[in-house]
A = this chain, B = another copy of it.
Amino acid sequence: MRHLMIYDMIEAVHRSGSIRKAAEDTNITASALNRRIQTFEDEFGSEIFERLPRGMRLNPAGELLLHHIRQQRQDLARVHSQVADLSGVRRGHVKIACSQALLPYFLPREISRYRAEFPNVTFTVNVRDRIQAEQDLVNFDSDLALVFEPAHMVDFEVLHAVHQPVMALMSTAHPLAGRESLRLRDCMEYDLVLPAPQFGVRVLLDQAAAKLGRKLEPALETDSFDMVRHFAAYGQGIGFQIPVGLNTLARPDMTFVPVSERDVLGGDLYLGHLRGRTLPVAALKFAHQVATALSAARA
């Protein structure tokens, strides 16, 4: 798409903040790039960059244009994807922003299942918290977001939602292993290993503890869900996670016990995309597969 090169150039200047740096990324001379920008501004009818002594910065007009550029590029990708689908071969690239819990089991399984059928579709997966994920959609950095307990949902259009109770995880040797269900106050008798306060599971647990007039004092607090699992597996601590982040078969040395909904209500896992967007076929069909898988997993 040679005729859209100017858009790449504008984005490059925006990213690097200077024509000279952007020129390197674009494999072009600074003078050529400079004149492309100038010519474009002439045609566009107004400047899109502020000229600062230290470089270039988008002005408000440029910000509006940038959003248009991203949107139109995404829509072109959608067209490409649909055209490929016309000829029976599904092609495309799917960008996903997701909560950490989806990383270890769920997404790898779903992606490889999908790629078994459509090997020409490639994926990008980025870990994003509840706020960043939505921002990613707005900036067209991601096609799909899969988020536990999202924050705003303003620009978020829900494709599918499933309820996720909070599960306690522990070594099979743990005194509480084998119970059908756990009360939160039972857990608090033992060492706790909790995700950092910004994560959805932690927010739910904190709220539940507050309701009991208690405060959770974790033995280990981490921003890595991997760490939570491993510490719970080898130590005597109790970790917490939602079902989609767990896999019974993969961890015979661990037990997963639901925390009673009388204490912790659980939260919702949302699959969605940017409000009003038309997804490329590849992304849309993957979303359907994920939605089906989520429903099946719950049952």
Question: What is A's interface to B at a CB cutoff of 8 Å?
Answer: 1-6, 40, 43-46, 60-61, 64-65, 68, 71-72, 75-76, 78-80, 82-83, 86-87, 276
Contacts and interface: CB of A to CB of B under 8 A. Distances in A.
27 contacts: A1-B43, A1-B44, A2-B43, A3-B3, A3-B5, A3-B6, A3-B40, A44-B80, A45-B80, A45-B83, A60-B83, A60-B86, A61-B83, A61-B86, A64-B79, A64-B82, A64-B83, A65-B79, A65-B83, A68-B75, A68-B78, A68-B79, A71-B75, A72-B72, A72-B75, A72-B76, A276-B276
Most-contacted residue by chain B among A1, A2, A79, A276 (CB, 10 A): A79
Contacts of A60: 83, 86
Contacts of A65: 79, 83
A137 to B, nearest CB: 15
A5 B6 CA distance: 14
A79 B65 CA distance: 6
Please name the 4 residue pairs, one residue from A and one from B, whose CB atoms are nearest each other, closest first.
A61-B83, A72-B72, A276-B276, A3-B3
A40 to B, nearest CB: 8
Contacts of A276: 276
A91 to B, nearest CB: 9
A79 B44 CA distance: 10
Given A45-B80, A65-B83, A68-B79, 15 more contacts: A1-B43, A1-B44, A3-B5, A3-B40, A46-B83, A46-B87, A61-B83, A61-B86, A68-B75, A68-B76, A68-B78, A71-B75, A72-B72, A72-B76, A276-B276
Nearest to A78: B68
A276 to B, nearest CB: 5
Nearest to A71: B75
